[in-house]
Structure 1
């Protein structure tokens, strides 16, 4: 649906009343007495010099740079995600004092894609030490000295390798 245009005469009249110092509601009332019906929003648009948008048949989109997406912030976000084991988007947002959706938009606009990684356990050094101590005791309890040669499947419970514990996502730069 096309937008309604106002004539240059009406726009000139609004500008004249604005220069005389009338308020926007007062201008609407003065023009109403003259038989010209305009909204207060139209007066505001003329005041802010958005006649170009107001007189166009379709809405002109005015793009603005978002204040939280400064080059400094973008560089920091890219630096944080461009590592082997990146932190979560929520952690990045909290660290940089921006929203999580802003971090997501920066990642997407920078050309990175999210990839899922294989799940692994993350064991701390204390967990590894406890496993070493307790696994032998459990082994002895299960074996009871008689079945030492047959307890091989249970030993799989007590592995200590592959405990690097990495994040389950990574970011890959698109070509």
Structure 2
């Protein structure tokens, strides 16, 4: 069956549009709008059919705590990434970002259970205005230890435990920052030099004394109990 030959003028226009880097759908759209050509031509792309084995393989890959990327799943299933995304949506899964939390050890849990009634009595009758509470914290560049920061959860039966990214006691390289807060406001941040051995002498001479010299000397210092600091040498 011979093809219908198009007009020479229309052919020249199409070639000119091709030289201008127009795509085939754009050329058809322009031809329909300006020259009333290609009225019966429609461009459509049929979606690839996903087999039950492919769907099962995708669900098994994402229904874990640390799922692989969609690109790697598509490569292993010999399918497109859009097909993998469509399977995930049809299976009623959604992508969520994990929340970083510190791993709670048994000693930390026991310490949080012990109530401090003596400290509460000291804060009564507006005496809290004379107290300053301080603490220090470590900041790290990365603590995921190779675990993925995202996970998939099912909308109908969500497993929220997957969204928690626990960090072990072993930490990557970081730095320590000290700060405090009282009824007068917050203190300035004090950074501990990297590699310094933090003991009671360093803490008192380089953190506490400079603060009380330049700050309010009438405040009562209160901090969580630390094993490396001598309570008898703390200012109270």
Same-fold call, TM cutoff 0.5: no
Normalised-by-shorter TM-score class: 0.3 to 0.5
Q: TM-score under structure 1 normalisation?
A: 0.39
Higher relative contact order (CA 8 A, sep 6+): 1
Question: Which of the two has greater helix per residue?
Answer: 1
